[in-house]
Structures are given as structure tokens and as C-alpha cells.
Amino acid sequence: MTRTAVTFDRIAAVVAGLALVALGAALVVWTTNSVPNLPRRIAISGLHSATGTGWWPFALAGAGVLLVVVALRWLFAHTPAAKVKDLPLRRDDAGSITVDLGEVATAAAEALKQNLDVASASGKAVIDRGTRTVDLTVTTTATPRSDRLIPTIDAVCAQIAGVLSDPSVATRTTIHTGKRERRRVR
Amino acid sequence: MTTAQEHAVTARPAPGRPPVAAPAAGYVGALLALLILAAGAVALRDAAVHFGWLRGAAWIDTAIAGLDGLSPQGWMLPAGVVIALVGLWWIVAALRPRRRTALEVPAQTSVWIAKADLARLARAAADSVPGVLDSRASASLRTVKVTADVTGDDPALEAAISTAVADAIGGFTTTTPRLKVRTRTGAH
């Protein structure tokens, strides 16, 4: 999900929540008659008579299409983090050089797999809360040694930084503990 | 890209954001989107009924007719309370920050370990102690709990398990989580 989608969800949840609180409170107040001079019946005769007019089906159809389009757009905003593709390294009159961040992430994962404590590794490039991030996932053996594993991760991430030379690209590594005790023979 | 440790750490990348759970407001947003989709589908169905493309009664017209002239009913009191509580829950969900799911690992770059994986490390360490038959472990951001089935009622065993677990997880967390070890005998 993008930051915009999360912000939109938060605003929508607050607005809908406030509306529900207001509706619930109104129902309680109306039913218990705790506020004097409230009408004892809901009067929406104007709306009721509108359902018999000629324009009502067109209004329903228009509103229906609009609601479906808005809802589908909103639902599709709840997809996983957007992947980053190319990062421009250099651009001048002669042309431009770009690097595929996804491939950098994959190569970094391959490098991590060489470590004795790593059973498997994968990498992808995503935009995480507005930051372009090389996101590495390392699955270790059952009993990894931190003094062997963590310097390797640091070294690989430093290599990524060296290759990209762009301080705005971040790295993040998540360690998962595997179940296998020993590394299989390759 | 070549392997690892032979390269000196010269450049340091920007730290990635901490791993966090999906925002609670995201579930509310998805639910609202589904409700709007359902409302749109009903409106299109009713329009089709009005145009004569479908047979049956228009649901929205029926609902409006039912609402017009409605007076207070007994069910409205509990329904109002429930609706207000759901509304409050949504407001709390909207304002609540995203929950952190992993602990920071002591490293020069942004490295994290999930709570379940820390628990798995603790369990593997406990299982490696002689005298431990089986163990279970759970972890939060602050506490690691280990319950071990042991062969005998030896008080030194609990200390040995604590030491093994502390050694195993110590290198993987910047903050030392509180360790709670429980042993029990006669499980098998």
C-alpha cells in the first residue's frame, strides 16, 4: 500500500467512524426520548415520491456506476508495496545509464546465499512508505551464528550502496530462522 | 556481486524503515470499499429493474418506503449502542499507529528479526541443552518465554537453558528482551 492509500484509509475510517457514532447516538436519543420535541416519525416523503419519477432509474444507474468505479479503485489501492524498477545512475547529452534495482536485489540475495548460516535468501526492490528500498529476506539455518551472519549482511548492503551511489536508496534485511540444522551440500 | 566479508564496509546505505504490520485502518478501508461496491451493485440492479431488464422489486425503493414514517422501535436502542461502538472502534483503528513486528538486530545496516523467528532461535537453543526433551517458545518485542520439558528436577537445568537461550538470541537483538524460562518434568 502506498502512503497516500494509507492516509486515505485513515481519513475514511475516521469519517465513517464519526458517522456511525453520530447515527448510533441519534438512535439511542430518539428511542429513549431523552431530548424533547424530536419528531416521532422519519419523514422522507420527498425521497419516497422521487422513486416514482422518470429520472430515478437514471440517477440509480449513474450513482451505481460511480460507486462501483470508486470502490474498485479504492480496493486496488490495497495492493502490496509498489516495486521499483530502474534507477538513473547518470544522464547527460550522450545518453543515460540506469540500473534495475530489482536485479541488484536479486544479486544481493545470491551473494547472501554464500554464507554458511544462510539457507535461502531473496530480494526485491520496493517503495516502502515513500522510500525506495532494497528489501532482502534471509532464511537462516536452525542455529545461525550472529557473528558470522550479520557482518555478511552489512557487507552485502554496503556493496549495494557502493554500486548505486545514491544515498536515497535504503536497504532493509529481515532475518527468518529456518528449521534445517545443516546446510545442504551443493 | 561477490561474496561478502572479503569486502571492507566502505559505504553505508540509508536505513530501511522498520517492518510494521498492515495498518488497522487498511482493513476498515477495504471493508468500506466492499460496502460501497455492494451499494453500487444494488443501485445498478435496481436501475435494471426500473428499466424492465430484470424482474422483481427494487430493493432501494423498498428500503426508502420502509424508512418513511418509521417510528422508534425497541430494537433501535441496542442497535444504536452497537453502531456507536463500531464507530468508536473504527476511529481508534484510524488513529492507531502501525504495530512493529520485528526487533532490530545489532548491525551497521537496517537488519530486523521477526518475533516468531526470535522465538524459534530460543527454542532451538533450549532444545540443544542436555536434559531437555522438548520445548516451546514465544516472543514479544520485550519478552521471550521458554517452556521446556526436562528429564529431571535439576535446578541447574533452568539456569543452563537461560544461558543457552540468552547466548543464542543475544547477538540478534539490540535490546535484551526479558527472558522467562519454565521447566517441567513428567511430560513424557
Statement: residue A33 has pLDDT above 70: yes
H helix or E strand, kind and range, residue B145: strand B143-150
What distance in Å separates the CA atoms of residue A144 and residue A7, rounded to the nearest whole number? 39
In the prediction, which pLDDT does A148 show? 92
Statement: residue A184 has pLDDT above 80: no
Residue of B nearest to A129 (CA): B17
Integer CA distances (angstroms), A75 to B22, B23, B37, B167, B184, in order = 15, 15, 9, 46, 50
A47 has a chain B CB within 8 A of its CB: yes
Task: Decide if B43 and A67 are in contact by the 8 Å CB cutoff.
Answer: yes
Strand-pair partners of A16: none
In the prediction, which pLDDT does A164 show? 86
Closest CA to B116 of A146, A175, A121: A175
In the prediction, which pLDDT does B6 show? 46
Query: Within chain B, which residue ranges are assigned CATH 3.30.300.30?
Result: 104-185
In the prediction, which pLDDT does A108 show? 96
Interval B81-113: pLDDT, tens: 999 999 999 999 999 999 999 999 999 999 999
Residue in A58, A110, A152 closest to B5 by CB: A152
What distance in Å separates the CA atoms of residue A156 and residue B20, rounded to the nearest whole number? 23
What distance in Å separates the CA atoms of residue B80 and residue A34, rounded to the nearest whole number? 14
Task: Decide if B41 and A68 are in contact by the 8 Å CB cutoff.
Answer: yes
Interval B112-146: pLDDT, tens: 999 999 999 999 999 999 989 999 999 998 999 99
Superfamily of domain B104-185: ANL, C-terminal domain (3.30.300.30)
CB A47 within 8 A of CB A58: no
Looking at chain A, the whole-number percentage of residues with pLDDT higher than 90 is 65
* pTM over the 0.90 mark: no
Interval A123-171: pLDDT, tens: 999 888 888 899 999 999 988 999 999 999 999 999 999 888 888 899 9
What distance in Å separates the CA atoms of residue A161 and residue A67, rounded to the nearest whole number? 46
Residue with the three cell numbers 549495494: A160
What distance in Å separates the CA atoms of residue B123 and residue B147, rounded to the nearest whole number? 9
What distance in Å separates the CA atoms of residue B32 and residue A125, rounded to the nearest whole number? 30
Interface-testing mutation among B27, B90, B118, B173, with chain A (most A C-beta atoms within 10 A): B90
Shortest Cα distance from A92 to chain B (angstroms)? 25
Calculate the average pLDDT of chain A: 89
CB B58 within 8 A of CB A51: yes
Which amino acid, residue A22?
A: A
CB B133 within 8 A of CB B168: no
Residue of A nearest to B115 (CA): A176
Interface-testing mutation among A1, A7, A21, with chain B (most B C-beta atoms within 10 A): A21
Residue in A9, A64, A158 closest to B10 by CB: A158
What distance in Å separates the CA atoms of residue A128 and residue A101, rounded to the nearest whole number? 14
What distance in Å separates the CA atoms of residue B97 and residue B112, rounded to the nearest whole number? 19
**Average of per-residue pLDDT across A61-75:** 97
Domains of chain A: 3-76 (no CATH), 86-177 (3.30.70.1350)
Strand-pair partners of A100: A86
In the prediction, which pLDDT does B22 show? 87
What is the CB neighbour count within 10 angstroms for residue A107? Answer: 18
Which amino acid, residue B11?
A: A
Interval B9-31: pLDDT, tens: 467 889 999 999 889 999 999 99
The pLDDT confidence band at residue B4, using thresholds 50, 70 and 90, is very low
In the prediction, which pLDDT does A82 show? 66
Closest CA to A152 of A109, A104, A112: A112
Integer CA distances (angstroms), A81 to A72, A135, B41, B97, B115, in order = 18, 11, 29, 18, 22
Task: Decide if A6 and B25 are in contact by the 8 Å CB cutoff.
Answer: yes
